[in-house]
Amino acid sequence: MTGNKRLGKEEVIVFPTDTVPGIGCFLSTECVEKLRRLTKRPKNKPFAILLSDEKDIEKWVLLIPPCYHKLSGFLPGPLTLIFKGKNTLPQGVLSKNGTVGIRIPNCESVRDLIRDAGMPLIATSANPSGKGIPHEIDEVKLEYDRLIAGSGGSGRSSTVLDISGKQPVLLRNGEISIIEIEKAIKEEILVTKGIPIHILYVCSANICRSPMAEEHLKSLMKDLSNVETRSAGTIAIYGISPSIGATKTMEECNIETHHLSIPVAKPVLMWADFIFVMEEKHKDYLTDLSPENKEKIVFLRNFKDNSRPREIEDPIGKGIETYRMVFSEIERANKRIAAYLKRKFQY
């Protein structure tokens, strides 16, 4: 059903957001149960609430942690924050741990809807729980009472960050990257079990530096299944084995590889949580290719090293000593990365 008549308090609404289409209804115990039946959402997965303005957050939470103010620059936007919630919230919105997820979507029509009603929306993505998420409103297959028209958002879910405890914890990867969050709050966050971290290395032809870096990190992270790695090249072609020098250098370090080169493309940049590059020209190329991912791009030698940007030389066509020197630089950087990643999962 569509239309402009005033919404009933228990009507189920499908609406656009800045990420993916949502489904929800206004805050009440009855609506929690109605929405749960429609989406087949398990009882141990509470719904978030959507607000129209930041000033309304304090109405629903017990405490606003200091780090919130550093994250508020992402709002309105694709970030769901978990707070300690007030016990006046209905179960199913308030979790068993006493927390509540709050999001302020960067979608004016939805925020106007919330303002007009004078109460939050209980909401989730517009799909049966655990099933594929629609990218456009017309892909929604669930039953609903009212449709708010609008175009699709980014197609990627909001990032979910729990700030209710001593240290922020990532509960879901999404539109806002780990790097962006940590840059904003100036501290490391933890990552809950089961959430993968995606590492991408980029060089030129993807036959020397980036495959050496990828295979070396794999060798360091064998005990951590949550970390997934890839490598690609800005001028690579498909299917080329690593250079003789790269292969020999890896063999000297007991690293086996079956790598074949691939050109970098936008989907793999979207996949990555961290994009490590070797030279300024790689960073420039990737920024032009996908500006929305530029915050994830880091010089490999500069990870957790605040000195001026430092490049890693291309060893192609040079002797084995150059390859060994390059590998040594990669090794030092990767050891910092591995230590950082292992700290992430101490939760």
41 catalytically annotated: no
Mean pLDDT confidence for 181-200: 94
pLDDT tens string 16-57: 999 999 999 999 999 999 999 999 999 889 999 999 999 999
Q: Say if residue 308's pLDDT is above 80.
A: no
Mean pLDDT estimate for the chain: 93
Q: Does residue 123 sit in helix, strand or coil?
A: strand
The one catalytic residue in 203, 208, 273, 301 is: 203
Q: Residue 290's closest CA among 268, 319, 273?
A: 268
Measured distance CA(250)–CA(254) in Å, rounded: 6
Give me the mean pLDDT over the 307-322 stretch.
91
Give 130 or 282, the one with higher predicted confidence.
282
The one catalytic residue in 31, 209, 273, 301 is 209
Confidence of residue 347 (pLDDT cuts 50, 70, 90): low
Is residue 7 pLDDT above 80, yes or no? no
Q: Which architecture, in CATH terms, is 13-191?
A: Alpha-Beta Complex (3.90)
pLDDT in the model for residue 160: 97
| Angstrom distance (rounded) from CA 253 to CA 259 | 16
pLDDT value of residue 245: 97
The residue-averaged pLDDT of 278-286 equals 97
Query: What crossing angle do the helices spanning 320-344 and 244-252 adopt, rounded to 10°?
Result: 60
Over residues 74-92, mean pLDDT: 96
Inform me whether the pLDDT recorded for 3 exceeds 60. Answer: no
**Is a pLDDT exceeding 90 seen at residue 300?**
yes
Of 3.40.50.2300, 1.10.3720.10, 3.40.50.620, 3.30.1370.60, the CATH number of 197-344 is 3.40.50.2300
| Residue 10, pLDDT above cutoff 90 | no
Q: In the chain, where are the structural domains located?
A: 13-191, 197-344
Q: Average pLDDT of 241-249?
A: 98
Give the rounded percent of residues in the chain with a pLDDT score beyond 90. Answer: 83
314 assigned to active site: yes
DSSP string for 219-256:
HH-TT-TTEEEEEEESS--TTPPPPHHHHHHHHHTT--
What is the sign of the dihedral through the CA atoms of 254, 259, 261 and 265?
negative
CA–CA distance, 15 with 21 (Å, rounded to integer):
6
Compute the average pLDDT of residues 127-141.
Answer: 88
Q: How many CB atoms lie within 10 A of CB 135?
A: 15
Question: What is the structure's pLDDT at 135?
Answer: 86
Q: Which band of pLDDT confidence, cut at 50, 70 and 90, is reported for residue 194?
A: confident
Residue of 56, 145, 284, 314 marked active site: 314
More confident residue, 137 or 1: 137
Q: pLDDT-derived band of residue 1, with 50, 70 and 90 as boundaries? A: very low
Task: Tell me whether residue 31 is one of the annotated catalytic residues.
Answer: no
- pLDDT at residue 4 greater than cutoff 60: no
Q: What pLDDT sits at residue 130?
A: 85
Selected residue with higher pLDDT from 3 and 338: 338
Question: 344 by DSSP, 3-state: which?
Answer: helix
pLDDT at res. 5: 52
Once rounded to an integer, what is the mean pLDDT over residues 273-277?
A: 97
Residue 339 in this model has a pLDDT that exceeds 90: yes
| Helix axis angle, 209-220 to 320-344, nearest 10° | 40
Name which residue leads in pLDDT, 3 or 322. 322
More confidently predicted of 9 and 108: 108
